[in-house]
Amino acid sequence: MKILVCVKQVLDLEEETDFHIDDSGQSMVFDGPPVYQLNRFDDCAIEEALLIKKAHTETLIDVITVGPERADAVLRRAMGMGVDNGIHIMTSGEEIPNSFQIATWIGEYSKEQKYDLIFTGVMSEDEMQGQVGPMLAEVLGMPCATSVIKETMMEGNDKIRVEREIEGGYRDVLELLMPAVLTIQTGINQPRYPSLSNVLRAKKTEVNVIPSTTIAIPDKRQTIAKLNYPQKTRSAIRLEGSRRGKAEALLRIFKEKSIL
Amino acid sequence: MNPSILVVIEHKNGEILPAAWEAVACANEISFSQPAEIKLVILGNDVESLAQKTAWTTGIDIIAIETFEQQTYNSEVYKSSLAEVLKERPFSYLCVPGSTQGNDFAPGLSMRLGTSCIAGVEKVIPGENGIGFLRSINGGKINTEIQSETASTIILVQPGSYKPQQIIGTTRGNIDRVTVDFSDHRIKNLSIQKTPGDNSVITDAPIIISAGRGIGDEENLELIKRFSMIFPKSAIGGSRPLCDLGWLENSQQIGITGATVDPELYIACGISGATQHTMGMKGAGFIVSINSDPFAAIFNISDLCIVEDLNEFLAEFIDVCEDASKTG
């Protein structure tokens, strides 16, 4: 069996490197060196593929990313976790491709690869669109299930049973004919850390680098007109002073409001 | 007149869901900038009565797509049916609730129709160079305005961004009836199951102490518990990552994929404020946020903001309360 996992390198939003919008209003400027990491949702997608490989040892797992040079780090991380091969569709880094472009590029590459399963995270932490998976499924003519919280390979390895997380605490149970695309929701597993032996192997393994310019560049279909800061929807009063002072002020406010 | 603005109406057990009326509100907002007739698309098995009821009460024209065999939501049936019907019915915008259903079929549908698809739309921004669609990125710290470059565009409306706008009309809307026959064999619907767990503890609580990744380690939950004991009738909730880690029960999860709550007081402890979480709690009466990141998005929707290391501040607050009760 052959599995492709699509991953993305995203800004580590837990890091407190601040960023602001530049004068053009169209791009972000960082006040310090930005820290990047593997999209958390994709981390779960990789783990899910590795769990399948554990049960079906003949499985081969490829990981693919679209991004500038620095995105190589997420491929190495995936390989450190146990993924077999890395494919990097290298962009110039000047323009951020959108979901449609990324799906088209990955689709062009994977058309000839005969994957049985393609996994992505349910969304990226930075853009939060969740579109690459379902769009890629269309490029390849595969069925797709999003927000997958459980999957089980059926006997014969030609069907996969999935549970999609839907609203109100329900799960939609489906059976998809393979090859299929699944977008993986967090909580489905606890992703492993890269192992030392795999990390060493990953360092030596060559990644298949494909410059995005060698694949037909799809129309953007949409543009980013402007970036702006979210508006405050409430008073957002900041308590000032020492930690003790803030704690005392908060208690006072709760007392005034008869909460305490 | 511009081509119609269409809204896909999500329904369950013969009832239209609030998310559908939110999408109608978004369509209305688009029509202010670009006047066009709004039509509702109702798709499903045995939709005639729902289509009729809706056309009569709203006065809006309906495109009713009867799918016969298909009883429950199936993305292949949705994509095939909508692609076929919409190919012959020009539209400028197709507004779809950004639910787990809309997010599942709309991106694929856009590929079949050759349109762009903008997800997570929270607001429509009129502009000289066309309409911008506002969406939140980078954990809610920045908004982007996206413009479409295709003649038709699919808009996924972020749940909770609009007030549901139920329209009451005085005349009867017309019904455009279409029958499709796509029984899909690639995706088989087996069942819909309830996830075990009862979240009434947090949905009923007047005070919620909510924990996010900012708590750092699981052992710091102990501090959250001690903090919550100060507030009678409070319950502990949290953001999805903590539930994924197993630190909290799934029934304690607040946000789009968890519970929607509106307590009198909500104390966000180490929560960054991404849309996925805030859509489930922004209706709270009074919101206090504690976060060490002065730029955390949660502060934008808070009444009171405290920029401090979470664990140290909670310990300090507990201390202050103990001192107050001694002197009290």
Domain boundaries, chain B: 2-179, 200-327
Mutation target for A interface from B78, B101, B186: give the one with most A CBs within 10 A: B186
Q: What is the pTM assigned to this prediction?
A: 0.95
Place of tokens 């607001």: B123
**Euclidean distance between CA atoms A212 and A68, whole angstroms:** 10
Lowest mean pLDDT of A126-130, B165-169, B222-226, B262-266, name the range.
Answer: B165-169
CB-CB: which of A170, A176, A228 is closest to B143?
A228
Token pair of A13, please?
């939003």
- Answer yes or no: are the C-beta atoms of A117 and A3 closer than 8 Å: yes
CB-CB: which of A131, A173, A246 is closest to B107?
A131
Whether chain B has a CB inside 8 Å of the CB on A240: the answer is no
**Euclidean distance between CA atoms A128 and A10, whole angstroms:** 11
Query: What average pLDDT score do residues B104-130 get?
Result: 96
The residue among B182, B183, B245 whose CA lies nearest residue B219 is: B245
Q: pLDDT tier at B328 (50, 70, 90 boundaries)? A: low
Q: Do B142 and A229 touch (CB under 8 A)?
A: yes
Q: Is the peptide bond before A179 cis (omega within 30 degrees of 0)?
A: yes
Tell me the chain A residues in contact with residue B76 when contact means C-beta distances shorter than 8 Å: 143
Token pair of A21, please?
């919008």
Q: Do B107 and A134 touch (CB under 8 A)?
A: yes
Q: Which stretch, B14-28, B59-73, B172-186, has highest mean pLDDT?
A: B14-28
Query: What average pLDDT score do residues A69-85 get?
Result: 97
State the average pLDDT for chain B. Answer: 94
pLDDT value of residue A79: 98
How many Cβ pairs within 8 Å bridge chains A and B?
Answer: 251
Which tens digit of pLDDT belongs to each residue from A155-208?
A: 999 999 999 999 988 999 999 999 999 999 999 999 999 999 999 999 999 999
**Euclidean distance between CA atoms B103 and A140, whole angstroms:** 19
Query: What average pLDDT score do residues A7-22 get?
Result: 86
DSSP 8-state code for residue B219? G
What residues have CB less than 8 Å from A166, skipping those under 6 apart? A147, A172, B99, B100, B101, B192
Name residue A8's amino acid.
K
Q: Do B306 and A145 touch (CB under 8 A)?
A: no
- A106 CA to chain B: closest CA distance, Å? 14
The class (CATH top level) of A2-214 is alpha beta
DSSP 8-state code for residue B162? S
**Euclidean distance between CA atoms B77 and B187, whole angstroms:** 9
Q: Do A230 and B245 touch (CB under 8 A)?
A: no
Neighbouring CB atoms inside 10 A of B141's CB total: 23
- B39 CA to chain A: closest CA distance, Å? 24
Tell me the chain B residues in contact with residue A137 when contact means C-beta distances shorter than 8 Å: 108
Query: What average pLDDT score do residues A49-67 get?
Result: 97
CA-CA distances (angstroms) from residue B60 to B34, B55, B186?
18, 6, 35
- Answer yes or no: are the C-beta atoms of A186 and B250 closer than 8 Å: no
3-state helix, strand, coil in chain B (%, to 5): 35, 30, 35
- A205 CA to chain B: closest CA distance, Å? 32
Q: Do A247 and B292 touch (CB under 8 A)?
A: no
Q: Do A244 and B320 touch (CB under 8 A)?
A: yes
N- to C-terminal Cα separation, chain A: 61
Q: Is the dihedral of CA B236, B240, B242, B248 positive or negative?
A: positive
The residue of chain B with its CA nearest to that of A231 is B300
**Euclidean distance between CA atoms A76 and A93, whole angstroms:** 19
Q: Do B142 and A230 touch (CB under 8 A)?
A: yes
The residue of chain A with its CA nearest to that of B103 is A130
Assign 3-class secondary structure to chain A.
CEEEEEECEEECCCCCCCEEECCCCCCEEECCCCCEEECHHHHHHHHHHHHHHHHCCCCEEEEEEEECHHHHHHHHHHHHHCCCEEEEEECCCCCCCCHHHHHHHHHHHHCCCCCCEEEEECCCCCCCCCCHHHHHHHHHCCCEEEEEEEEEECCCCCEEEEEEEEHHHEEEEEEEECCEEEEECCCCCCCCCCCHHHHHHHHHCCCEEEEHHHCCCCCCCEEEEEEECCCCCCCCEECCCCHHHHHHHHHHHHHHCCCC
Is B70 a residue whose pLDDT tops 80? no
Token pair of A139, please?
């490029």
Q: pLDDT tier at B291 (50, 70, 90 boundaries)? A: very high
Query: What average pLDDT score do residues B152-173 get?
Result: 92
**Euclidean distance between CA atoms A13 and B273, whole angstroms:** 11
Q: Do B288 and A233 touch (CB under 8 A)?
A: no
**Euclidean distance between CA atoms A188 and A148, whole angstroms:** 8
The class (CATH top level) of B200-327 is alpha beta
- Note which residues in 46-105 of chain A have CB less than 8 A from chain B: 99-100, 103
Strand partners of residue B145: A226, B134
Query: What average pLDDT score do residues B34-45 get?
Result: 95
- Answer yes or no: are the C-beta atoms of A212 and A91 closer than 8 Å: yes
Helix (H, G, I), strand (E, B) or coil at B281: coil
Is B82 a residue whose pLDDT tops 80? yes
The CATH H-level superfamily of B2-179 is HUPs (3.40.50.620)
